Amino acid sequence: MNSWSGRRLREGAVTFAALALVFIVIAVVIETALGRSDSRIATEFMLIASMVVAIQAYVGNSGLISFGHVAFYAIAAYVAGLAAMSPSDKERITPDLPAWLMQLEAGLPAAVGLALLAVLIFAVFTGVPFSRMNASVVSAATLALLVLVHSVINLWNGVTHGPLGLVGVPDLVNTWVVLGTSLIVVAGALIYRASPWGLKLQAVRENEVAAAALGIPVAKMRFVGWVVSALLMALAGSVWALNSLAFAPSMFYFTDTFAMLAMLVVGGLGSVSGAVVGAAIITVLSELLRGLEGGLDVGGVSVPELPGIVQLATAGLILIVLIARPRGLFGNQEIGGLRPRHFALGRGRS
């Protein structure tokens, strides 16, 4: 396992360099060439791609589909947002906050740190039972977790401002903070993938019975993957919140879950590189088609409103990719380990 881990680390270093270059170029373009609207789209892409990478750290290494990671995103966003808001804004819209949190007006490091701590506690609390569940029921449990967290933040008016969400969240984030966050999340996912914990979880993914027979503690490895993935999600989610100014519970539910899992499926469940590429493809597709939802005129021809066209196109893309590349565009491969044979269509194991 040591030699395999060493190979993964070398491939991971090349992959990190390639993905880091992509994110750095995007950040430089944001700062030098894009207008306000396009800059926000590009910034959102970096943070959403980071969240997809965070989900991949668990899903890709464990082979278990999680519908619940957006819950970590929501918790991190709300904790960071509440920590950073001014006491006067909190007294106005969230009167039931604890006194210490009501008076707190944290800066970026403290707000992100509190979000990470809150998600760590929640991930440990949920990870213990989830890691001991049969693999066949974990996905259903994570879906229940998403519904539970969404219901709490939607109904707890005195703390979360209910369906109206938080307004007045200060903008503490710039392009370079987003860039640094993205690089940390990508590096963390790649390091975990090549670590002994990641490799053992991948062994469990391939054959749980054989892995247990070799002495690999299945529940412990799943628990570690769950917590690592949750913390990466919390880092990206808290920075997203401090870049968004306002958000509501509807932004942390099925639509975001579907979109992020679609990005991961298209790019490849087992690949950090695939998570980023899948996020890029779905983001570009969504932006190109979003204008069609409200209808438009092209060369004198009126195109009617097409509500839901983005979701329809995304679902169609998933089907096409799964038919042509059952494990997604990158499969289990990273950029640093790609060979020409990996691009053959229809490969079941990429």
107 belongs to a structural domain: yes
What is the domain count for the chain?
Answer: 1
pLDDT in tens, 83-98: 999 999 999 999 999 9
Indicate the residue type of 219: A
Mean pLDDT over 230-244 rounds to: 96
**DSSP three-state, residue 343:** helix
pLDDT of 319-348, one tens digit each?
Answer: 898 888 888 888 888 887 765 555 455 554
**What whole-number distance in Å separates Cα of residue 279 and Cα of residue 260?**
7
Q: Using only C-alpha atoms, what is the Rg of the chain? A: 20
C-alpha span between 238 and 94 (Å, rounded): 19
When pLDDT is averaged across residues 145-154 and rounded to a whole number, the result is 96
Domain interval for residue 72: 2-253
Q: Residue 3 has what pLDDT?
A: 59
More reliable by pLDDT, 74 or 313: 74
Contact by Cβ (8 Å): 67, 142: yes
- Average pLDDT (119-139) is 94
Residue 287 DSSP symbol: H
Q: Is residue 345 part of a domain?
A: no
Select the more confidently predicted residue: 305 or 59: 59
Q: Is residue 321 part of a domain?
A: no
Q: Which amino acid belongs to residue 240?
A: W
Q: What is the DSSP string of 228-249?
A: HHHHHHHHHHHHHHTTTSEE-G
Note the pLDDT of residue 267: 93
Whether 217 maps to a domain, the answer reads yes
At 350, the pLDDT band (50, 70, 90 cuts) reads: very low
Tens digit of each residue's pLDDT (9 = 90 or more) over 268-285: 999 999 999 999 999 988
Residue 167 resides in a domain:
yes
Q: Indicate if the pLDDT at residue 1 is higher than 80.
A: no
Which pLDDT belongs to residue 10? 78
Q: Does residue 68 form part of some domain?
A: yes
Top-confidence residue, 13 or 221: 221
pLDDT tops 90 at residue 233: yes
281-302 average pLDDT score: 73
CA–CA distance from 264 to each of 102, 116, 261, 288 (Å)? Answer: 38, 23, 5, 20
Please give the Cα distance from 234 to 250 (Å, whole number).
Answer: 18
Can you name the residues that pair with 297 across neighbouring β-strands? 302
Residue 219 lies in a domain: yes
Q: Please say if the pLDDT value at position 349 is more than 50.
A: no
Whole-angstrom distance, CA of residue 79 vs CA of residue 120: 12
The answer on pLDDT for 203 being more than 50 is yes
Which runs of E-coded beta strand occur in the chain? Answer: 166-167, 246-247, 296-298, 301-303
Is the confidence at residue 37, as pLDDT, over 90? no
Does residue 201 lie in a domain region? Answer: yes
The answer to whether the beta carbons of residues 178 and 236 sit under 8 Å apart is: no
Structural contact between residues 90 and 104, judged by C-beta atoms closer than 8 angstroms: no
CA distances from 132 to 68, 112, 211, 213, 218 (A): 16, 30, 15, 17, 8
Given a contact cutoff of 8 angstroms between Cβ atoms, the answer to whether 222 and 62 are in contact is: yes
Crossing angle (nearest 10°) for helices 218-241 and 175-194: 170
End-to-end CA distance of the chain: 20
Flag the least confident range among 106-115, 159-168, 287-296: 287-296
Whether residue 158 contacts residue 96, with contact meaning beta carbons closer than 8 Å, is answered with yes
